[in-house]
Structure 1
Amino acid sequence: MRALTWHGKHDVRVDTVDDPEIVNPRDAIIKITSTAICGSDLHLYDGYIPTMQKGDILGHEFMGEVVEVGSGSTLKKGQRVVVPFTISCGSCFHCSKHQYSACDNGNPADNQDIAMELYGQPMSALFGYSHMTGGYAGGQAEYVRVPFSDVGPIVIPDGVDDDKVLFLSDILPTGWMAAENADIEPGDTVAVWGCGPVGLFAVQSAFLMGAERVIAIDHFPRRLELARKFGAETINFKESSTYEALMEMTGGIGPDAVIDAVGMEAHGLFVDNVVDQIKASTFLGTDRTHSIRQAIVACRKGGRVSMPAVYGGIVDKFPLGAFMQKGLTLKTGQTHVQHYLPGLLAAVLDDKVDTTFLISHRLPLEQAPEGYKMFHDRQNEVTKIVLKPGMAPQ
């Protein structure tokens, strides 16, 4: 089959690789009909995530048709399914608490040492996202093996277009959980750093959860325009001081809740961010944490901080004093996708949540390397790229 493979920093290629096979009874093989490039994939593209190996198949946002099942799978051939990016067993201590992204059994034991050293506990398994997270082949391919297929995938009704449900695999539940972690109360003002896919879904979700005002912060005009379409007020941090603007907009109090949807590759020529970029380029650090620092400082006293954004290592210049003195709370973590799928699928089918607005480009799988470069270099106009195996070249 054909699949997008990683070969190093800014080097991804579509190669011919072996077809996946059933390994365990609970496996299923999915023929991919749609897969997307995620902002988190750019961390792999930029070489920030350790334990990648040449030839690894990328992709963790995908859906398709069931073509083969193991004896323990509950899926049936011919069903259309969306697959969560987290690989979860459904029966361990964490899965029993619906903390699916903390599953103990998805990540093979021989891949857990690095995460144990970094984080004290092994990470959950993810599709197409390094050997630290299990080394599983991803879905930017013609076919993919799905472990624990009796737990993860959700069956999509006939007649529903891929574009409408594809983002249930990751970014829609991630944006929803980000808003949920902000503990939004009716009448709240919520500030969202980053108007990428997760940030835009967090904006939508915050309004649905009762926020009175949502303030979206970014510097890409097109993404700020999309946020305004959902009713958000906006701050372009290249044109205004974010902190001063937020204080003015909230009468000097600050937002009730803040959401960092930017993560480890924050943009902007700020002193702390420039220092972080130098450290990252010289291998003295991994994360550019300007956005979470700014969110903590801007949040009102007694407020809530939600951090869906990806961070990978140990950071400095963290405003721990402000965090403690202001009495803030922080919730974060990889998304418990399986927990949210039924409710969000219903919301999508009832047209309560819009997803298709995000897609700016559709490309054949064979042009995935071009898609990665476009998404990396042209983030103003490229908001989401969907890859289609078998699609004619553009």
Structure 2
Amino acid sequence: MKANCWMGRNTVEVREVPDPAILNARDAVVRITSTAVCGSDLHLYDGYVPTMKKGDVIGHEFMGEVVEVGPKVTSLRAGDRVVVPFPIACGDCGACAHGMYSVCENSNPNAGLAEKFMGHSPAGIFGYSHMLGGYPGGQAEYARVPFADVGPIKIEDDLPDEKVLFLSDILPTGWMGAEMCDIKPGDVVAVWGAGPVGQFAVVSALLLGAERVICIDRFPYRLGYAARVGAETLNYEEADVLDALRDMTAGRGPDACIDAVGMEAHHPTTAVHAYDRVKQATRMETERPHALREAIMACRNGGVVSVIGVYGGLLDKFPMGALMNRSLTLRAGQCHVQRYLKPLLGRIRNGEIDPSFVVSHRMTLDDAPRAYEMFKNKEDDCNKVVLIP
């Protein structure tokens, strides 16, 4: 089959790779009908996620048709149309029992490797390094789906792929980011990053009762997407973010702040940005945490900072004094996607959310290398690429 493979920093290639097969009684094989390029994939593309190997199949946002199931899978059968969550979860461990699927205790066969980096291992993830399981990803014609009786959700109506595909990751991620803010009526929420995850965080915060949502980015077209779903916008290349947020909140600061950027943030101050780029390039730190620093400094006393942007390891100049002395709450996590599938599918069916608004480009799987370059370099106002195998 054809699959998009990581071939080294800033290089992906569509290659012929072996077809997936049932390896475990709880496996399924899915023929992929739609897959997408995620902002998290750019961290792989840029070479900042360790334990990638040349030829690894990448991609973790996908859906399709079940073509084969293992003998212990009773919830699915060939022909079912499914969306597959990006974290792989067994459904039986203590973490899964508490709905914390992205830290499943059984789905990462390389847990020892992850423990060296993180202390304890999170769940396995499709197409996201050997540290997180070495599972082939979903930017391919077919994928093996472990624990298929736990993860995939059946789509039993005629909703088009683009309305449900993002249940695999970015819609639940945006929702969880807003949910972790404990939003109350009248709250002001600030979101760093107006990419698709940030856009869904805006939508989610408003649906959860925020009175105002302020979205921060530097690309006018991305801020335009955020504005169309109800955000006030702030371009950090045109205004000092901390001063602007004080002015917009009468000096108080947002009640909650969401970091939807993660490890490759930019900063308008050349010296600060250069400092982090040098330390990141020399692996003295793995992150450029500008958005996180600002979110902590901007948040009102006693507020919540919610982190859904991906981080990989170590960062410098973390404002721990602000976090501690001002009674801030810091919450973070890879999304527990399985927890949100049914509720969010219900909201899509009811017309409360139409996730397809984020899609700007539709391309074939063969076009994946071009899609990565467009998405990374923000060419042609590229917001979200869906690949059709």
Q: Counterparts in 2 of 1:240-255, with a 5 A limit?
A: 240-255=239-254
- SS of the residue 1:343 aligns to: helix
Distance in 1 between residues matched to 2:215 and 2:380, nearest whole Å = 15
Distance in 2 between residues matched to 1:266 and 1:380, nearest whole Å = 21
Q: Which residue of 2 aligns with 1:136?
A: 135
- SS of the residue 1:200 aligns to: helix
Q: Which residue of 2 aligns with 1:53?
A: 53
Q: Which residue of 1 aligns with 2:43?
A: 43
Which letter maps to 1:27? Answer: D
Q: Which residue of 2 aligns with 1:386?
A: 386
Distance in 1 between residues matched to 2:155 and 2:134, nearest whole Å = 27
Which letter maps to 2:70? Answer: G
Q: Which residue of 2 aligns with 1:352?
A: 352
Compute the displacement of 1:122 (Å): 1.2
Which consecutive residues of structure 1, in runs of 5 or more, have no partner in the other structure?
Answer: 390-394
Distance in 2 between residues matched to 1:162 and 1:72, nearest whole Å = 27
User: Identical aligned pairs, as a percentage?
Assistant: 58
Q: Which residue of 2 aligns with 1:87?
A: 88
Compute the displacement of 1:315 (Å): 1.3
Distance in 2 between residues matched to 1:379 and 1:124, nearest whole Å = 33
Compute the displacement of 1:381 (Å): 0.7
Distance 1:134 1:301, change over 3 A: same
Q: Which residue of 1 aligns with 2:323?
A: 323
TM-score, length-normalised on structure 2? 0.98
**8 Å contact kept, 1:223–1:380:** no
**8 Å contact kept, 1:246–1:254:** yes
Task: Tell which deviates more after alignment, 356-365 or 274-283.
Answer: 274-283
Q: Which residue of 1 aligns with 2:342?
A: 342
Superposed CA RMSD: 0.9
Distance in 2 between residues matched to 1:238 and 1:380, nearest whole Å = 20
Q: Which residue of 2 aligns with 1:238?
A: 237
- SS of the residue 2:164 aligns to: helix
Q: Which residue of 2 aligns with 1:105?
A: 106
- SS of the residue 1:204 aligns to: helix
- SS of the residue 1:297 aligns to: helix
Which letter maps to 1:233? Answer: E
Which letter maps to 1:86? Answer: P
**8 Å contact kept, 2:285–2:316:** no
Q: Which residue of 1 aligns with 2:123?
A: 124
Compute the displacement of 1:196 (Å): 0.5
Compute the displacement of 1:283 (Å): 2.4
Q: Which residue of 2 aligns with 1:392?
A: none
Say yes or no: does 1:264 pair with 2:266. no
Compute the displacement of 1:380 (Å): 7.1
Which letter maps to 1:85? Answer: F
Q: Which residue of 2 aligns with 1:15?
A: 15
Q: Which residue of 2 aligns with 1:291?
A: 291
Compute the displacement of 1:343 (Å): 0.2
Compute the displacement of 1:124 (Å): 1.1
**8 Å contact kept, 1:20–1:145:** yes
Which consecutive residues of structure 2, in runs of 5 or more, have no partner in the other structure?
Answer: none
Which letter maps to 2:190? Answer: A
Which letter maps to 2:184? Answer: E
Q: Which residue of 1 aligns with 2:170?
A: 171
**8 Å contact kept, 1:222–1:380:** no
Which letter maps to 2:257? Answer: V
Distance in 2 between residues matched to 1:155 and 1:13, nearest whole Å = 31
Compute the displacement of 1:158 (Å): 3.0
Which letter maps to 2:3? Answer: A
Q: Which residue of 2 aligns with 1:31?
A: 31
1:165-207 superposed Cα distances (whole Å, 9 cap, x missing partner): 0000000000000000111111000000000111000000000
Q: Which residue of 2 aligns with 1:210?
A: 209
Distance 1:52 1:21, change over 3 A: same
